[in-house]
A = this chain, B = another copy of it.
Amino acid sequence: MSPLLGASRQFSPLLTDLYQLTMLQSYLEYEMNDIAVFELFVRKLPQGRNFLVAAGLDQVLDYLENLHFSQEELGWLATRFPSHVITYLEQFRFEGDVHAMPEGTVFFPNEPIIRIIAPLPQAQLVESRIMNLMHFETLIASKAARSVLVAPDKLLVDFGMRRAHGAEAGLLAARASYLAGFSGSATVLAGAVFDVPLYGTMAHSYIQAHGDENAAFEHFARSHPQNTVLLIDTYDTEAAAIKVVALADTLASDQIDIHGVRLDSGDLAEHAKNVRQILDQGGLTKTTIFASGNIDEYRLHDLIASGSPINGFGIGTALDISSDAPSLDCAYKLQEYAGKPRRKRSEGKATWPGRKQVYRRYDAGNRLAGDIVALEKHDVQTGEPLIKLMMLAGRRIHEKISLHDIRKRTLAGYTRLSEQMSTLEPAPAYPVRISKALHVLADQLDAEMAEKN
C-alpha cells in the first residue's frame, strides 16, 4: 500500500454503526459464532437507469485485510462495553472468505455483487463499512459510465472533488469514474494513490489576481510550456480568444504552443463555435477546446449531438454526487447461518435466501441476453458465472489488478450492452430470472417461518 495513503484511507474501525457492536456483544454472550453468509445487492435501479457498474471491491478487501483495533480505540470502547467484548476485539482480525463480481462488471437488481462468509460476529461487524464503500464507488462508476457511453471519443475529466461529500468521496470518485472509463481527474491525491491520470488548468482567481488576461495567459504559458490550457471566460470569452491568438504569435519565437482553452460559463455550444472560428482563423487549429460548468451526461449528449467543436469536458458536481440518483437502494443481508439458509420477510423488503451465483447469457452478437440468479451449489445454469472467489481466510487470493487494467475490462464490457441500454433513454427492463431451485428454497423457508413466528 502506498505510504501516501498514510492518513488518508485507513479509517478507524469505529466507523461502524453502534448496533454492530451491541449485536456482537450478544453474539459472544450466546456463543453464536457459527459461519454466517451475507450478500450485498441492489433492490432496484434508480429511475431512468438501465444498469449499474460494480466498484469498490479493492477498497473492501484492503479494509478487511487491515481491520484491527488500536489501543486508543479499545480504551474508548472499554468505557462502553464489558471486558469480554474488549478482549475479543483486541484479537480481532477478519478471517473470512469473500466472493464478488470483479470491479467494472455491469449488474442488475437482486444480483449479489459481494458475499462475505465468516463467523457471525465478524461478518456482522464489517457490514456498515462494506456498504459505505461498495455503495459509493458503485454509485459513481454507474454514473460515470453514462457519460463515457455518450462521449466515447472525448476527453472526460472528473472535476468534482470540491463538492464531493468529504475527503474520501473526492478521492474515491476519481477512482470510480476512471475505472468506469473517464480519462482522469483533477484530484491530485487520486494520482498519487491510484495512478489516475491528472488534468488541470487554472482558476478564475489566477486571471483576477493578474487583473489583466494578457499578462495572466503569458505567465501561465511560460510557467507551463508543456501544458498550456488557458481559461478564457473570466470577462468576455470571444475577446479572450482573440488575445490567445495574439499571444500564440508572441510565444511562437520561444517554441511555446497554446494547447487548449477552457470555457466555464454561458452558452457553451455558442461560445465553442465562436472560439473555434477565432482560433482557426488565427492559425491555432490544433488548440483544443475544453468545457466545464454544470455539465452532466444529458448536457454532454446535447453538446455532442449538436456537433459542438468541444474536445474535452470537465464533469464535476453532477458526477461526484451522482446528481440524478445520489444513492442506491442496496442492502447487506444474512442469507445463511450455521449451514441453514435465512430469509428476511419484512414488507417490501423480502430477500432471496442462500449463497447465490449469477449466470449471464449472451446473444449471437455477443450482447447481454439475460441473467439468472441461482443457488451457488447444485443449481448450475447455462451462462457465464459472474461471482468469483476473491479472498480466502482473510487474505486476497490474487495480486491486486491495476486500475488501468480494470478500466480496460470495464470498457470492453460496455461493448456487450445492447444499443438501447447504452443510451440515456430508459431501455426495457433487462431480464433477471430467479432460478426454480431458489424459488423452491424461499417457499420452503417461508413455510417453516410461518410455523415458528
Interface residue ranges, A against B (CB under 8 Å): 3-8, 10-12, 14-23, 25-27, 29-30, 32, 36, 38, 70, 72-73, 76, 120, 124, 127-129, 131-133, 135-136, 139, 159, 161-173, 186-189, 191-192, 198-206, 208-213, 219-220, 222-224, 227, 233-236, 239-240, 264-266, 317, 321-323, 326-328, 330, 332-334, 337-338, 340, 342-349, 449, 452-453
Contacts and interface: CB of A to CB of B under 8 A. Distances in A.
B201 A12 contact: no
B171 A15 contact: yes
B163 A131 contact: yes
A199 B18 contact: yes
A275 to B, nearest CB: 14
A206 B23 contact: yes
A440 B328 CA distance: 49
A219 B22 contact: no
Contacts of A188: 14-18, 21
B209 A337 contact: yes
B3 A198 contact: no
- Which of A5, A14, A322, A338 has the most chain B CB atoms inside 10 A of its CB? A14
A223 B347 contact: no
B265 A349 contact: yes
Given A167-B15, A168-B169, A453-B213, A23 B202 contact: yes
Given A7-B10, A72-B6, A166-B169, A348 B266 contact: yes
A12 B346 contact: no
A334 B204 contact: yes
A186 to B, nearest CB: 4
Contact of A235 (B32, B187, B206, B453): B453
Given A17-B200, A165-B164, A337 B22 contact: no
A227 B234 CA distance: 59
B264 A234 contact: no
- Which of A29, A170, A187, A219 has the most chain B CB atoms inside 10 A of its CB? A170
A452 B210 CA distance: 11
Nearest to A450: B235
Contacts of A209: 27, 32, 36, 120, 334, 337-338, 342
B203 A345 contact: no
A450 B193 CA distance: 44
A114 to B, nearest CB: 14
A334 B25 CA distance: 53
A211 B449 CA distance: 8
B169 A346 contact: no
Contacts of A205: 23, 36, 38, 124, 127, 333-334
A208 B334 contact: yes
A204 B22 contact: no
A82 to B, nearest CB: 9
A162 B56 CA distance: 14
Given A204-B333, A213-B453, A136 B73 contact: no
B165 A169 contact: yes
Contacts of A139: 165
Contact of A208 (B10, B131, B343): B343
A334 B234 CA distance: 12
Contacts of A326: 165, 321-323, 326
A202 B321 contact: no
